[in-house]
Structure 1
Amino acid sequence: MTTKSPWLVTYQARTSAERRLIAFPHAGGSASFFRPWASHLDDTLELSVVQYPGREGRMAEPLVPSMAELATAVAEALAADGTARETILLGHSMGAAVAYETLRLLEASGSSAVTRLCVSGRQPDGAETITSPRLRTDRELLSSMSELGGTRAAVLDDPDLREMVLDIARNDYYLVDSYRRDPDAVPLGTEVVALMGDGDAQTDPRRMQEWSSVTTGPFSLSVFTGGHFFLAEHVASVLSVATAAGVGSR
């Protein structure tokens, strides 16, 4: 594992790789969620994962309370990276929104390195509209996290770990609940690929199709078996779709 920026964790660095995949974790998640993905990639692809503050190697740093602040910091980190390699962004759940807003900023700055945006497990405007966002209670967080899966039971059974995880999740859920996509935003110019599980109550195929409206580029939707964290069960297949040569590749 290598880290050039605190915002990016790279597993199995491949400096000669022609392309790179940047992954954005879900609410309450961290970079290590995507660690196993590196072993599924060949030498032409390098995996880096966005590490949000307040977790793993950045545990001492304050959590970021807003989408605008988070996307701006990630966009700046990617821009400062200086690589000209073709880049694919893939975000899951909250990470889909962060990846989208990050790409908006990168394209607005004139960058053309990103050729494909993959949005997983999240509709363009989320599964529900919360008119008055508030910090969720422990009970609400535990109920939601249990329903969605993705958090190991052993973590939630340990009082100290549970408190830490709930603090992070509470911040992230508020960030997402407060986020509103700008319907008048300048459309992206890159390819958008939407991914979802057929048993995920947070997504609906018709609503996932609405991601096509955020870009002037090509759009496609891939549906996998499974719930909200379907991608953990289909890593190789998800990567095949996300990194396939085609419209999004030079």
Structure 2
Amino acid sequence: MTRNTDSEAVAGNWFRVIKRSTKPRARLICFPHAGGAASFFRDWADLVPDDMDLAAVRYPGREDRFLDPPHTSMADLADPVARACLASGDVPLMFFGHSMGASVAYEVALRLQSAGSSRLTDLFVSGSAAPGRSSGSRDPLTMTDAEIREEVAELGGADANALADQELWELLIPSIRADYRLIGLYRAGFSTTAPLDVPMVAYYGRADRDVDAASVAAWADATSSTFAMRSFDGGHFYLKDHAPGLVADLLGRRAPFHP
């Protein structure tokens, strides 16, 4: 596949290219949190090397996909993202997913493995309990819009202006509610699958009220390859304050580039 075709695939409906290398030796794909969007990772452009592409998943129902219907299930989201990954050339892939994005990245990784693809070299998960582990004290399936708004404010994942402006909040809540429903259904229906054969690193904030060391350490059961974990100061969105250290750490732990 030519580089032009590859670039078109990466920049297509499911990915926003944040940084493009002329000769990429790897591509880091980031998966946003519930209520999040691809732009959350725009400041990472200066943190990755010039021989790496940086892209983020464009969830439907927000930003430049605002008019697209939000997803209704994990399969509804992970299936097309996996197909987009498979269609994006032969550059080695690394996934980073935060919060809900950790589960989405994991499910996309499972689909790539099932398809016989070996392009994924590393899976980095963040701010999330392992699949099958409970997270937080509230059930996402029963939370009201007011409770969701309160939790988003407490976790620090949204712009303060979005929370204060009622009209703006009403525009955002459908996609956020869809995310909460997706992760609630996913947790309720999760069943153990064959582990990935991909190195995995799990990150979390030491003051995160929704995850702890034990629930993060349980990600080790999701891979038959190597597993490591690291914590940072801060809460659920510790990565806002620690992006340089986080990216440096994950790049230092990545599998060797393919020749």
Q: Give the 5 Å matches for 1:45-64.
A: 45-64=52-71
Q: Which residue of 1 aligns with 2:198?
A: 190
Q: Which residue among 242, 253, 256 is the counterpart of 1:234?
A: 242
How far the C-alpha of 1:221 sits from its partner, in A, is 0.3
- 1:91 lines up with 2:97 in the alignment: yes
Question: What SS does structure 2 have at the residue aligned with 1:244?
Answer: helix
Following the alignment from structure 1 to structure 2, what is the Cα–Cα distance between the partners of residues 12 and 47?
Answer: 5
- Aligned-residue RMSD, C-alpha: 2.0
How much does 1:86 deviate? 1.7
The secondary structure found in structure 2 opposite 1:233 is: helix
SS in 1 for 2:101: helix
CA contact (8 A) 2:60 2:69 kept: yes
Displacement after TM superposition at 1:184 (Å): 2.9
* Aligned residues of 1:198 and 1:226 also touching (Cα < 8 A): yes
Q: Which amino acid aligns with 2:110?
A: R
Give the secondary-structure state (helix, strand or coil) at the position aligned to 2:125: strand
Structure 2 unpaired stretches of 5+:
1-6
Match of 1:6 in 2: 13
- In structure 1, distance between residues paired with 2:158 and 2:190: 31
Alignment match of 1:17 (pick from 16, 24, 31): 24
Tell me, yes or no, if the aligned pair for 1:201 and 1:227 is still in contact at 8 Å.
Answer: yes
1:154 is aligned to 161
User: Alpha carbons of 1:183 and 1:249: their partners in 2 closer, same or farther (altered >3 Å)?
Assistant: farther
Q: Check whether the contact 1:191–1:248 (CA below 8 A) recurs between aligned residues.
A: no
Q: Note the C-alpha offset of 1:178.
A: 0.8
Of the structure 1 ranges 89-98 and 198-207, higher mean CA displacement relative to structure 2 is found in: 198-207
CA distance in 2 between partners of 1:184 and 1:65 (Å) = 21
Distance 2:118 2:190 in 1: 21
- Which residue of the other structure, out of 17, 31, 41, is the alignment partner of 1:34? 41
Structure-2 separation of matches of 1:143 and 1:129: 13
Report 1:100-111 matches (<5 A): 100-111=106-117
Structure 2 length-normalised TM: 0.90
Q: Give the letter aligned to residue 42 of structure 2.
A: R
What is the distance in 2 between the residues matched to 1:248 and 1:211? 22
Pair 1:177-2:184 in alignment: yes
CA contact (8 A) 1:67 1:176 kept: yes
CA distance in 2, matches of 1:54, 1:126: 26
Cα displacement (A) at 1:36 = 0.5
* Match in the other structure for 2:4: none
Contact 2:41–2:56 at 8 Å: present in 1 too? Answer: yes
TM-score with structure 1 setting the length:
0.93
Query: What is aligned with 1:219?
Result: 227
Q: Distance in 2 between matches of 1:129 and 1:177?
A: 12
2:136–2:209 Cα contact (<8 Å) kept: no
| Structure 1 unaligned spans of 5+ | none
What is the CA deviation profile of residues 38-76 of structure 1, one whole-angstrom value per residue up to 9, with x for unaligned ones? 111121211100010011111111000101111101101
